[in-house]
């Protein structure tokens, strides 16, 4: 499986143009850009640079946050951008409970209804929507927290929906293997990094592949058995470590670990 760079991995050091150059320099063939980075150089320019660099877009991050005020217009724009970049999916980080709410079930219903509302536009644009279950500790960012829950939503929503499998969020799940098998062709993205046993932060302390306790080859085998033939997308949020390093060192390490540990 080829390697793709989720641009969150070097978000503190580089802009999108530099990230694209970095991918080329390190032989990384795919890229999954974040929308704020696209916006900062402009969609047209982003598209042009990615094409000139010969990179495959493996996703656009992110739509979602369905409990935010302007969720609908924002998601319609995200679909448009993903379409322009020929992304195989728009990744949805679905959002959590609104301030002062304790209504988790209601939030989940709102998420499902909202996806249903934008789905016709996504289908028209040919942009599959990838629901990404986030780790239960990140329920503030996303109230979809297991693959089973995400796939139940996909079952209800129908064509044009699928899941993004990020090892960081799902590696602990006792039903991981069975739910990836259930997902089948609905696996729209596969994100890698590692879980550090001494995690210091709930959001931004992901480890580099090989530095933690996730059995990456095993999960890779699960997604391959499900028929996934896309890229492995490295996505590392790391306030205390990788975001402070020379980005060329980061990419060099990603490539090396991708070859050795994944």
In the complex, which residues of this chain contact a second copy (CB under 8 A)?
97, 101-104, 108, 135-137, 139-140, 145-146, 148-149, 152, 171-175, 195, 197, 199, 202, 213-215
Alpha helix locations (H) across the chain?
Answer: 16-26, 35-41, 43-53, 71-84, 104-125, 147-157, 167-170, 176-183, 216-225, 247-261
Beta carbon nearer to a second copy, 54 or 174: 174
- Cβ-contact 205, 239 below 8 angstroms: yes
Instruction: State the DSSP code for 200.
Output: -
Give which of 26, 38, 37, 29 is closest to 3, Cα–Cα.
29
Cα separations in angstroms, 53 against 27, 28, 34, 232: 11, 10, 17, 19
With residue 232 as reference, give the H or E element that holds it: strand 232-234
Give which of 142, 151, 158, 147 is closest to 108, Cα–Cα.
142
Min separation Cβ 153 and a second copy, Å: 10
Min separation Cβ 207 and a second copy, Å: 12
Phi first, then psi: what are they for 128, rounded to 5°? -65, 145
Beta carbon nearer to a second copy, 7 or 232: 232
Dist. CA 190–CA 111, nearest whole Å: 22
Beta carbon nearer to a second copy, 44 or 218: 218
Beta carbon nearer to a second copy, 13 or 149: 149
Min separation Cβ 175 and a second copy, Å: 8
Min separation Cβ 156 and a second copy, Å: 13
Beta carbon nearer to a second copy, 122 or 131: 131
Beta carbon nearer to a second copy, 34 or 65: 65
Beta carbon nearer to a second copy, 14 or 195: 195
Dist. CA 78–CA 197, nearest whole Å: 35
End-to-end CA distance of the chain: 9
């Amino acid at each position: 499986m080829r390697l793709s760079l989720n641009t969150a991995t070097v978000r503190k050091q580089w802009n999108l143009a530099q990230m694209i150059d970095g991918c080329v320099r390190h032989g990384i063939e795919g890229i999954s850009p974040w929308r704020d980075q696209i916006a900062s150089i402009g969609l047209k320019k982003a598209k042009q640079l990615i094409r000139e660099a010969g990179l495959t877009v493996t996703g656009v991050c992110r739509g979602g946050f369905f409990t935010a005020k302007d969720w609908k217009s924002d998601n319609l724009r995200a679909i448009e951008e993903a379409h322009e970049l020929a992304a195989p999916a728009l990744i949805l980080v679905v959002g959590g409970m609104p301030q002062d709410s304790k209504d988790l079930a209601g939030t989940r219903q709102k998420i499902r209804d909202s996806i249903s509302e934008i789905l016709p536009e996504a289908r028209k644009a040919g942009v599959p929507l990838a629901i990404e279950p986030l780790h239960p500790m990140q329920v503030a960012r996303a109230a979809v927290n297991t693959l089973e829950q995400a796939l139940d939503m996909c079952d209800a929503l129908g064509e044009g929906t699928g899941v993004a499998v990020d090892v960081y969020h799902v590696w602990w799940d006792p039903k991981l293997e069975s739910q990836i098998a259930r997902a089948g062709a609905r696996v729209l993205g596969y994100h890698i990094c590692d879980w550090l046993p001494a995690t210091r932060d709930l959001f931004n302390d992901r480890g580099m592949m090989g530095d933690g306790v996730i059995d990456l080859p095993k999960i890779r085998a699960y997604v391959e058995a499900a028929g996934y033939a896309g890229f492995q997308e490295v996505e590392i949020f790391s306030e205390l470590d990788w975001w402070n390093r020379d980005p060329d060192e980061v990419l060099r390490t990603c490539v090396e670990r991708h070859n050795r540990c994944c």
